[in-house]
């Protein structure tokens, strides 16, 4: 088991890496779903686009643009990596599970290892809003029936 000091170092390393050089930044082509959400407490904003595979009802590609703290950008980028390729229902289940993990209702499972680094954020309610912003934006985009105009 990693020491608390090693866990903190890993947390900082992943957050910095994913916030400075997000792997899923941009806009999908075409845009099948779009949504933009903001955190009214701090001003963080995430704008998310989805390219869907209509035949399999799955997220073929996910991209986001955003301005915000390192936690909100890194969490959105990690989320994109986990949900790309997943079915819509799997993605919605992940959104629900992530929210429950961040509010302490359930434990982070081992298969979501990269997301485990965010569990320390759960101790700070205002930062939980930062970590869940991208996830809430994804849920709203999926539930929206209209693409970006």
pLDDT digits (tens, 9 = 90+) for 5-26: 665 657 788 889 999 999 999 9
User: What is the mean predicted confidence (pLDDT) over 30-57?
Assistant: 95
Q: What are phi and psi of 58, to 5 degrees?
A: -125, 160
User: Cα–Cα distances in Å, from 107 out to 49, 98, 140?
Assistant: 29, 10, 24
| Domain parsing of the chain, residue ranges | 4-143
Tens-digit pLDDT profile for residues 63-98 = 999 999 999 999 999 999 999 999 999 999 999 999
Burial of 25 per CB tally in 10 Å (0-12, 13-18, 19+): middle
Distance in angstroms (rounded) separating the CA atoms of residues 72 and 122: 13
For the whole model, what pTM was predicted? 0.89
Contact 50, 31 (CB under 8 A): yes
- CATH code for the structural domain at 4-143: 3.90.1010.10
pLDDT, tens only, 95-133: 999 999 999 898 887 777 778 888 888 888 889 999 999
Q: What's the CA gap between 69 and 59, in Å, rounded?
A: 26
pLDDT at 149: 44
Average pLDDT, the chain: 89
């Amino acid at each position: 088991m990693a020491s608390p000091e090693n866990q903190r170092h890993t947390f900082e390393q992943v957050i910095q890496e994913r916030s400075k050089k997000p792997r899923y930044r941009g806009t999908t082509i075409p845009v099948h779903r779009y949504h933009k959400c903001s955190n009214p407490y701090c001003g963080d904003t995430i704008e998310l686009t989805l390219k869907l595979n209509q035949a399999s009802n799955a997220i073929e590609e996910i991209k986001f643009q955003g301005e915000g703290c390192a936690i909100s950008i890194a969490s959105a980028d990690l989320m994109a990596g986990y949900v790309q390729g997943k079915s819509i229902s799997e993605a919605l289940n992940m959104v629900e599970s992530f929210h429950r993990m961040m509010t302490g209702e359930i434990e982070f499972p081992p298969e979501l290892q990269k997301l485990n680094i965010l569990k320390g954020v759960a101790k700070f309610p205002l930062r939980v809003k930062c970590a869940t912003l991208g996830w809430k934006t994804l849920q709203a985009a999926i539930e929206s029936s209209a693409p970006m105009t």
